[in-house]
Structure formats: C-alpha cells, structure tokens
Structure 1
Amino acid sequence: MKSLILFLGVIFIITFPLFADWSDDPAVNNAVCTLAGEQAITKVGTGPTGDTYFGYFSNESGNYNVRLQRFDQAGNPLWVNGGILVSDNTQMTWLTDWDMTVDLDNNAVLTFQDIRDGNNNVYAYKISPDGTFLWGADGLQLSNTSAFDAAPKVTVTTNNNVVIAWGSEDVSRLQKISPEGVLLWDSTGIEISGANSYTWPQPIGVESDHVIVKYYEDSGPVWAPTRHIYAQKFDANGNTVWDSPAAISTAGGITAWTQDLPIVKDNDNGFFIGWYDDRDNNMNADVYVQHVDADGNCLWTANGVIASTDMNREHYYVYIAYQPDEDILYAYWNEMDYDQNDRGIYGQKFDMTGTRKWEDTGRVIIEISPVDVYPYGIGNVSGKVVVFYQEGLNENYLKAMALDSTGDFVWPGGMITMCSVAATKLHAMVGSLNSNFWIASWADDRNGNADIFAQNINTDGTLGYSPQAHDPEMNDDQYQVYAQPNPFRNSTSIRFYTTGHSDITEISIYNVKGQLVRNLTVAFSPLHIVEATWDGKDTAGQNVKPGIYLYKITVDKKEIIQKIVKI
C-alpha cells in the first residue's frame, strides 16, 4: 500500500489487489465456514472500507457457538478457516434471531442472547478488523432478568453510538452504547411498556444521534394477537421526541409469526415501512406500505396504502426499496393463488403521495406457477432495483433480477443464477451495496451438514470480482467511479478505477444548484484504485446540509459526474 498526497484533509491511497476471489461460477460459491458441525443464521455487514463481515452460529460439541469471518472486497477470507470464535457460552437448544452491523470505524457489532448465567439474557460484542474484542472477551451484558429476552436488533447512530433493541416478554427494551462500550441509558436501558404487550422492536438511526424504533402493540392471546404497528423517536438521551407514537397500522390482521418488517429511510430522516395483513378477515393477506416523516406523521392513507387490489390472491413477504433519484418507493412481494399452491413475484411503484403508479393489481414480474419462488432480499442502485429470490422448495436455487422504473428486466436474460447447487438453503440474506456489487449469504447442505456460503453479484448482473466491471450506463468503457456508502451520513469514499494510465487533475463537489461546495485537487495517480474520503464538509469546514450533491472528476481532460446523497 502506498500513500500519495494529502489535500484538504483527504487521504488518497492506492491499493493493488493481489487476486480476485469472488467466484464467477454459480456452481462454485465462496465458502465462509465449512467446519464439521452445522452452521446457521448467517448475517452480512459491509464496512466503510469495502470489506465484509459474516456472522453465524456454529454447532460445536453440542453447543451453537457464535463465529465471525471477514472477507476483503475481492472475496478473500482475511481470518483463519471458520473465522474467529466470538462466544462459546451456552446457547439454548433452539435458536432465535440475532443481529449484526458494522459501525463507522469498520468494527463489527454483534448482539445475541444466550443462557450463560442460567437466564436468557442479551449481550453485545464489538470486534475490530484485526479481531480485537473491543468490548471485552465476554462482551457487554445488556439484560439481567429472569424474563425471556430475545431477538435483539442493532443500529448505528450518526455519532457512531450503537442502539440495541430487544423483546423482554411483554415489554421492549432499548440500550445505547458508546464506541468505548459504556452503557448510556442506565444499566437496564429504556422500556417501552403499557397496558398491552410491546414486542419485536426494530431501531433505525436517524439525525442528531436520534433513533426511531418500530414495535408492535399486542392484545389478546399470544398465539392470535390483535397486533398494531407503532413507532417512536428517541433523542440522544433516550427521551421520547414525538408527543405520541406514530400509529402506522391499527387495522389488525397481522399474524403472531410476523416479526421484523422491511424498513428503509427516506431522504429527510423519516422512513418507509411495508407489511402484510388480513385486516378484513377474508383469509387473504394483502401488502401495505406507509411513509412516516421525521415528526412522526403518517403521510399516506391511514393504516397504509394497499399494493394490490386483487382480492382473489394472497400477498406475502414484501420487500421495499426507496429510489432517491426518482423519489419513488418500490415494493415487491410473493404473489400466491388462494390455496397457496402456485407462487410468483409481483411489484408496485408508489409516488410520494402514496399513489400506485403501476396496475392496481400490481406489476407481474414472475407469474404464479407451481414452481416455488420466495423473495429474500432487495437492493437498489440508481436506475434499477434488484430482487433476490429462491427458486424451488427443498433443493432450491438462488437467483436475482434487476428491474427498471417500468418493472422491465435490465440484465440480459432477465434472471441471473447466483447459486446453481441443488441443496436445501436456509436463512438466505443479502447485504447492502458494496461498491459495485451485493453479497448474498446463506446456509446449505451441499456437503452434508449445513455450511455457510456467499456469492457476490455485480450491478451489471455478472458474478465475480473485477474492479473494472461496471454498468453499461457508467460514463466510459475505460473508467469506473462510485461513492460508497451512498447515501451517507458522516463520510463517504469516492473511488476511481481505470483500466489504463490516467491523469486525475481534480475532484469537485457541487450542490444541486451547481454551486461549488469543495474542490479536491490530486496529483498524478498510476493504475488501479484511487480513493478519496469526503467528510461531508464544505471549504469552510462546515457540515453541509442533508440532500443531493454531485461529485465531478476531471480525468484525461474528461469530466465524470455522479450523484451522491447525504442523509
């Protein structure tokens, strides 16, 4: 690694990847963990430098241990085979969900429950890129009660604090943790409670170190509750911000096994949310979406906008994506016949008034048929939304398809196979956009016991790692430029790849009015990668407001312009 020149507080570094290791063959995926026992419930988190963490449970000597592996951007594992052992404390004989993310300093943050002290309590660990346990070898204990504390979820705030939320029988609890590992909201955290049960919280980091938490209010029997969806915003000190919680849906009809919901942030510290319910008790589930602003107002139809008005079909398992360039929300879901024998994938497009822009019954993406298809994730990049799905029931395959603003296929051939190995796949998930590709991870039994595998797919629909692989829409066959993360909060890396000898003379940041925000001048840079980190400040050193900006790179007397969003 060779340092170049420091200009205006921005460090430019050239890296020379030794080899690319993401598989370009869907029959040969990258092995994350192939230890002797069963592995399960993988999580994926990509950091600000482009490397990716994989967390998972590993059955060793009769206990499900927690392990962590780290890959570089090219797909090479950076730690020993099987990853590092995070925790071998006693787990229950059956597993519940857990969570992982990556903070702004590229550390992995993991949270899960175990029974190390006899009770089912929640713990949190922070692991650095070199494998150091930053919050101690035993992590931080977040709960210490006889209650059944389960399914923690984690988010990182704008100040790089961590907020973890979990269910504790009839209440939801929240705890905030400083980067140094100090519990900031008392020793027991904050409680969301009341006359009913408050379950399945999901935190979302927003502006000013605040966090929004979605949760359910349940009444009635546990196995068949009347379930309503609410959200509340908490400030940096844990105080509620909104006078009353946002009532996202009080229509009922949400099943007891509906737990986490798809949530994506908008461009103004609010969020979109999707779900399905049978509010009219006609044994047909329908998909709904809602937009909640930063002040806790539900902007669309009360109790949500229905995505499809076809009352003769079932609609389940919705995934949503917000396109800031278009100011459009997309929703894709599992479409089924009334008997749930045939399955397909449909979609809907919503403008910012909540109006359906495609057919009222949804856009057909994959028509229902006896072939089982199940969406498991969604990704978006300018100009397209990518839907990730499984095909088949027992021995199934993993595929992806990119869709444009009309719902038409973008990639040649339509659907791209990411895993063609005939094996039972469990807990498939997809991470956020990593430079110019996504990473899916899952457990499958191709080797007998379930192992963890991963596969990348580029924004042009190809598999395998290539710094030069890019969309046909990008600026020039010789160049690739992108910013990651995008949208960003505190900082973003602007990266430039070239297939030849290029002379970068200037990088400039502009607002949407065309006014110069900041000039970054660089010296000559040789082949491979040049990376610049913009800290979101102007030439006066002041933080710029959230919004859309443009970055322009002048190279070989050509101008390359891309859009970037600060949130």
Structure 2
Amino acid sequence: MKAGLLGAVVVIVSGSVAHAQWAGDPNVNFSVADGASDQAQPKIAAAPDGGCYISWFDGIANGYDPRLQRLDGAGVEQWAHNGIRLQDTTNSSTVDYDLMIDAAGNALVTFKDNSSGTNQITATKVSPAGVELWGAGGVTVSSGATDKNNPHITELSDGSIMVGWSESPGFKMQRLDAAGAPVGASTTISESGRTVSLCDLQAGDSGTVIAMWIRPFTTSFLSSKYLYTQKYDASFAALWPVTPGSAAVVVYGPAPGSPWPTGVGTYGTQGGSVQNGYFPGFLPDGNGGGVYGWYENAGPRNAYVQHVLADGTLKFAANGITNALTATSRIRISGGLAYDRGTGEYFLSSVECDASPQTNYRTFVQKYTSAGALAWGDTGVEIVPVNGNQQSFVQTVSTGGGACMVFGFDSRPPTSHVLFGGGVSDEGSLLWTNEPSPTVESKSRLFSAWSTGGFAVLAFGGNRAGDQDIYVQNVNIDGTFGPVAPPCDPDVNCDGAVNGFDIQATEEAVNGDFANFCQSSADLNGDGSENGFDIETEEQRVNGAPC
C-alpha cells in the first residue's frame, strides 16, 4: 500500500500547479477573474471541504458568459485561472442567476441563455474536478419564445433538482433528476390580473420546494409590491394554507390604511411595499420552513424578519418583526439576513439614515432570539457609526454560537467604495472592525458566505486594474485575513483512528474527492498547494512524524 501511495505522489507532484491563495494583505485581494473585459455579478457556494465555488459573468467577445471556479480551503484555484466557461452567449446585459452546491459537493448553476437563438433558461452541474456532468453547456429547462429572467436552482431533500424562473405573467418551475433529465412537465405559478415575479427557491422537507415571489397590488407592476410564499410537493400541489383574502401565504403585505408597526401613522391607499427592482431571497430553516428578511419602501420604512414554519404558519406577527425601534425620522434602506440553525436565532443588518433628506448613514445589525425578541436592544449593534458616506450591499454571516459578521461597502465620493467588516459576539459586543478591501475604487455586487473551514468568504467586483475584475478575500473568525494553518491532526477522515485510510483520504482529496476528508483543506504542509507533497506529509504523520 505504501509503495502505491508513493508512486501516486510522484505523478501528482509533476502535474501540480498552484494559483494564489487567500491574501494576508487586504490591499492585494486575489483576483479570481481578470479577463480582458468586464467581469460581473459574483456568487459564492461554500463546499464541504472548506473551499467554495465562485461564479460570475465574463463580458468577453460579444456577450456575457457565465463562468465558474473552485477554490480550496486555502483559497487556491483548483482549475485554470479565470475558470470554466459554462456557455457562450451573446447577452449584451445580465440578469440575476443562481449558484448552489448539492449534497455531493457539485456546483449547480442556472442562467439566462440565448446560445440557441432564443432566450431560454439553462441549468448545469459541475463536479469538484471541473467536469460538466450534464454535458457541455448544460441542459435547457425552458421552451418557447417568451422572455425569461432571474432563474433560481436548489437541490431538494430527495436528490432531485428544482429550477425556477420568471416568465410573464408568472413564474415557472421544472423538476430535474440527478442526471439533469426533466421529471414531468413544468408548472406555471400565476394570479389572474397580476404579474408576479420569482424571488427565490429553497428546499423544503420530503422532496418539497418553497418559492417566494413579488405580488403587485394592482395590474401594474409599478404598484405596491407584497411578498408571497408557498410550499409545493412533487406534483406541484400547494401545501400551505393561504392567508385569507390572498393567493398564497403573505410574508409581507400591510393593508391600505393599516397602522404602522412602529411610530404613528398609517400605510397609504396601496398598503406597504418593497422597493421596485428588489427581489429579496430567503433561507431554508432545515425543518421544512423558511426564514425571510427584507426592507420596505413605504410607511415607516423598516426592515423585518419572518419565519414560516413547516406547516405554513407564521411564527411571528403578520408582516414580520422590525430590527430597530427608532424615531420615525430614521429609516432602514437595506436588509442583510442570516440564521443560526444551532441556536434558532435570527440576524438582520441594515443601513439606516435620516428620512428626509437621506443623510447621516450608519450600518447596524440586530439579533432576534428564537422567540423573536430583539436581543441587542432597540437600535442593534453599530458596525459603521453615523457619517456622511452611504453604505450599501450590506451582508450578514452567521458564524455559529449566536455570533455573526457583517460586511458592506462604504462610499467614498464620488463613486468609489471601500469594503468594511465587523464581528459581533453572542452577547452583542463589537469584537473587531476591519476593511477586507480598503482600496478606493468603484466596487460592485458584494457577495458573502460562511465556509465550513470557519471563516467568511467575500467576492466583489472592482476596477482597480481598469476593467472590472472579480476579487475574493477571506476573513477569519478573529477579523484577520489569509489562510489559517491546518490542524495538526493526522486523523483526516475523522474515524477515530490514524492509519492508511487517512493517507488514502488525503490522496483522494488532493485529486478533488473530499468525501472521506473532514478537514478544511488538504494543504497539510501549508505551502499553498494541494498536491503529492501533502500526501507525503500525511504518510509521515501517520507513521509518527511530528507536525
């Protein structure tokens, strides 16, 4: 066995190429996408090995093409620099798309695709080794000439895949099997006299899917907009009892003339509303329900949290619980949601400012107990104190144990931004603040995720090199940057024994299969690469060598 492993070492070392890693200096964030044209709209999906997938649009040639890259737990690119092109499109602009990870560690991506000559929705599955498992270019899940936008994708608890997208006057969903083949026909969700638009899809329990969408107050999409949700079974039958007088479960929909939940006043003739062009997402609670967070653009202009339980009942009062209790002269203009499944606690961060004129901005975060009480006081924990610069793209990441991190952009006149961050303890103490990217440049589309390796991963657009590129940065639990040394534990498969199976698990991880590898990175010698030298290091440890 040992001789075979040593032979594998020689082969892997000869073919290993390392591509950067998490930057210890935030002034030199690693550029994961720096092609000759603009790169846009990054997304992140955390992987079981402590690494992640990063997706984005590449404006190369005559269209924005979707691309994908995989990073290991040390931030090292696992595929060729600038990633894998998933499709060659001629889209001159972008709409939203989706990236997630399945239970086997494969990336699932869905996007608008006009490569066939008509606008369709494509879905694809990519393995950790960079293999397109549903074939080159993925599978087309839509049909017809009607325009289609903003697709979403999720793996359901039974292993099937659900893809959804907006297609006027409603939205559609199509179930796929694990091989990408359609399971039955697609379904259309619509409401007579309304144009509804999909916001997000998440997995429920027992093979169900939960959808959330925008529902306008009148036939005009520019009228006030409510948030509806529903759970569907394998035959697309609705499972949750609808809110009386509506077509689904109402997450947010203050009635005309109803009193504000805070301050003194009543909503207008069309009730409450979320902002035009705003499509908030939500989170699965892991028990068949969903956790929702959003901000409103009417009335007292609060930000709210709601939890719809597995049976469709609202855990909290209708229209949710606000994340701050302040004077009506102050408004919330964003909402960054996170949920701690371990404690059952909720987090919602917001940018807050004066109502008129909009100035004196600050960023804060609130934690709600599992019962919905404000855990961090009436005004939350302040991450960015009141100042004249507007913050945006505020994100919240649950770090476990009732703590969280908050990130966002802080403007620097006239159009530039720095990226800020802050860590908050369980009891509401501000542990640290930092700037994961202090370079003053035009930044865009911040996206964040929590790695199983115990750190946050950030991706964003920046034009420090001319055209917009995609940069990534990790932030450790203590607010520092750069790779964390792997634990000195040779039991890398976590079976309680140190033996040849750990060497085998390391060999598999170096070759992209982390199914039997439980540590955050296979870079066991800390040289920034996962290769045969790490197998050799593990073999030495198994045989008693010190770290």
TM-score normalised to structure 2 length: 0.80
Paired position in structure 1 for 2:351: 334
Instruction: Give the Cα–Cα distance (whole angstroms) in 1 for the partners of residues 115 and 179 of structure 2.
Output: 24
Contact 1:270 1:291 (C-alpha < 8 Å) held by counterparts:
yes
Report the Cα offset of residue 272 of structure 1. 1.7
Alpha carbons 1:225, 1:255 under 8 Å: kept: no
Unaligned runs of 5+ in 1: 5-14, 469-496, 508-519, 536-567
Change in 2 beyond 3 A, CA 1:155/1:194: same
Aligned-partner Cα distance in 2 for 1:77–1:2: 29
Aligned-residue offset at 1:403: 0.5
> Is residue 238 of structure 2 the alignment partner of residue 240 of structure 1?
yes
Q: Which residue pairs with 1:197 in the alignment?
A: 195
1:125 aligns with 2:124: yes
Shift of 1:341: 2.1
Check the 8 A contact 1:224/1:255 in 2, yes or no: no
Matched residue count:
476
Contact map agreement 1:150 1:166 (CA 8 A) in 2? yes
Is 1:261 aligned to residue 276 of structure 2?
no
Paired residue type of 1:294: A
Residue 378 of structure 2, aligned match among 349, 356, 360: 360
Q: 1:250 is matched with which residue: 247, 250, 253?
A: 253
Higher strand share: 1
SS of residue matched to 1:27: helix
**Could you state the TM-score of these two structures normalised by the residue count of structure 1?**
0.77
How far apart are residue 416 of structure 1 and its match? 1.6
Q: Which amino acid aligns with 2:479?
A: G
Q: Mean alpha-carbon deviation: is it higher for 229-238 or for 147-156? A: 229-238
Shift of 1:382: 2.3
Q: Deviation per CA, 1:254-301, whole angstroms, max 9, x where unpaired?
A: 245253324233353222211112443xxx521121111000001211
Which residue number corresponds to residue 526 of structure 2? Answer: none
Are positions 1:436 and 2:439 aligned together? no
Written as runs of structure 1 = structure 2, the 5 A alignment for 1:212-361 is 212-220=210-218, 222=220, 224-244=222-242, 245-251=248-254, 252-266=271-285, 268-280=287-299, 284-310=300-326, 311-338=328-355, 339-361=357-379
| Residues 534 and 297 (structure 1), Cα distance of their counterparts in 2 relative to 1, 3 Å cut | farther
Residues in 2 aligned to 1:85 and 1:402: alpha-carbon distance in whole angstroms: 35
- How far apart in 1 are the matches of 2:365 and 2:434? 18
Q: Which amino acid aligns with 1:403?
A: V
For the pair 1:388 / 2:407, whether they are aligned, the reply is yes
Q: CA RMSD in A?
A: 3.2
Q: What amino acid sits opposite 1:467 in the alignment?
A: A
- Segments of structure 2 that go 5 or more residues without pairing to the other structure are 5-11, 243-247, 255-270, 518-547
**Change beyond 3 A, Cα 1:354–1:117:** same
CA–CA separation in structure 1 for the residues paired with 2:17 and 2:311? 49
Letter in 2 for 1:88: D
For 1:51 and 1:270, the matched residues in 2 are separated by 27
Residue identity opposite 1:438 in structure 2:
A
Q: Which letter maps to 2:89?
A: N
Per-residue CA deviations over 1:290-318 (Å, capped at 9, x if unaligned) read 11100000121112122223211110211
> Which residue does the alignment assign to 1:522?
497
Matched residues in 2 for 1:458 and 1:505: separation? Answer: 22
Shift of 1:43: 1.5
Relative to 1, partners in 2 of residues 1:314 and 1:269: Cα closer, same or farther, differing over 3 Å?
same
Equivalent in 479, 486, 490 of residue 461 of structure 1: 479
Q: How does 1:352-431 map to 2 (within 5 A)?
A: 352-383=370-401, 384-393=403-412, 394-410=415-431, 414-431=432-449
Whether the 8 Å CA contact 1:71–1:78 is kept in 2: the answer is: yes
Distance 1:127 1:505 in 2: 25
1:115 corresponds in structure 2 to 114
Distance 1:505 1:378, change over 3 A: closer
**Secondary structure of 1:207's partner?**
coil
Aligned to 1:451: 469
Mapped to 2, the partners of 1:69 and 1:459 lie a distance apart of 24
Task: Check conservation: 1:29, 1:454, Cα contact below 8 A.
Answer: yes
> Using a 3 Å threshold, how does the CA distance of structure 1 residues 533 and 107 change in structure 2: closer, same or farther?
closer
CA distance in 2, matches of 1:289, 1:172: 24
- Give distance in 2, aligned partners of 1:179 and 1:150: 23
Aligned partners of 2:493 and 2:516 also within 8 Å = no
Distance 1:376 1:332, change over 3 A: closer
Q: Cα gap change, 1:362/1:144 in structure 2, threshold over 3 Å: closer, same or farther?
A: same
What is the rounded CA distance, in whole Å, between the counterparts of 2:283 and 2:31 in structure 1? Answer: 30
1:170 and 1:3, CA in 2 relative to 1: closer, same or farther beyond 3 A? farther
Amino acid aligned to 1:452 = I
1:47–1:103: 8 Å Cα contact kept in structure 2? no
Q: Which moved more, 1:449-458 or 1:152-161?
A: 152-161
CA distance in 2, matches of 1:416, 1:2: 47
- Give, in whole Å, the separation in 1 of the partners of 2:88 and 2:168: 25
Structure 1 residues 213, 506: CA separation in 2 closer, same or farther (over 3 Å shift)?
closer
Kindly tell me: are residues 142 and 307 of structure 1, through their superposed partners in 2, closer, same or farther at Cα, counting changes over 3 Å? same
Q: How many Å separate the matches in 1 of 2:134 and 2:2?
A: 32
The DSSP-based 3-state class of the residue aligned with 1:82 is coil
Measured in 1, the distance between the counterparts of 2:423 and 2:184 equals 43
Name the structure 2 match of 1:486.
none
How far off is 1:145 after superposition?
2.2
How far 1:362 sits from its partner (Å)? Answer: 3.9
Quote the residue 2:72 is aligned against.
72
User: Given that residues 393 and 446 in structure 2 are in contact (C-alpha distance below 8 angstroms), is that contact kept between their aligned partners in structure 1?
Assistant: no
State the match for 2:63 in structure 1: 63
C-alpha deviation, 1:321, in angstroms: 2.1
The worse-fitting range, judged by mean Cα deviation, of 124-133 and 290-299 is 124-133
Shift in CA distance, 177/263, structure 1 to aligned 2, threshold 3 Å:
same
Change (3 A) 1:208 1:506: same
SS for the counterpart of 1:427 is strand
Overall identity of the aligned pairs, in % = 25
Which one has the bigger helix percentage?
2
- Residues 437 and 458 in structure 1, CA contact (< 8 A), matched pair in contact too: yes
Native 8 Å contact 1:171 1:199 kept in 2: yes
Aligned residue number for residue 39 of structure 2: 39
Q: Secondary structure at the match of 1:134?
A: coil
Give the partner amino acid of 2:366: Q
Which protein, 1 or 2, shows the higher relative CO under an 8 Å CA cutoff with sep ≥ 6?
Answer: 2
**Does the C-alpha gap of structure 1 residues 273 and 255 become closer, same or farther in structure 2, counting only changes over 3 Å?**
closer
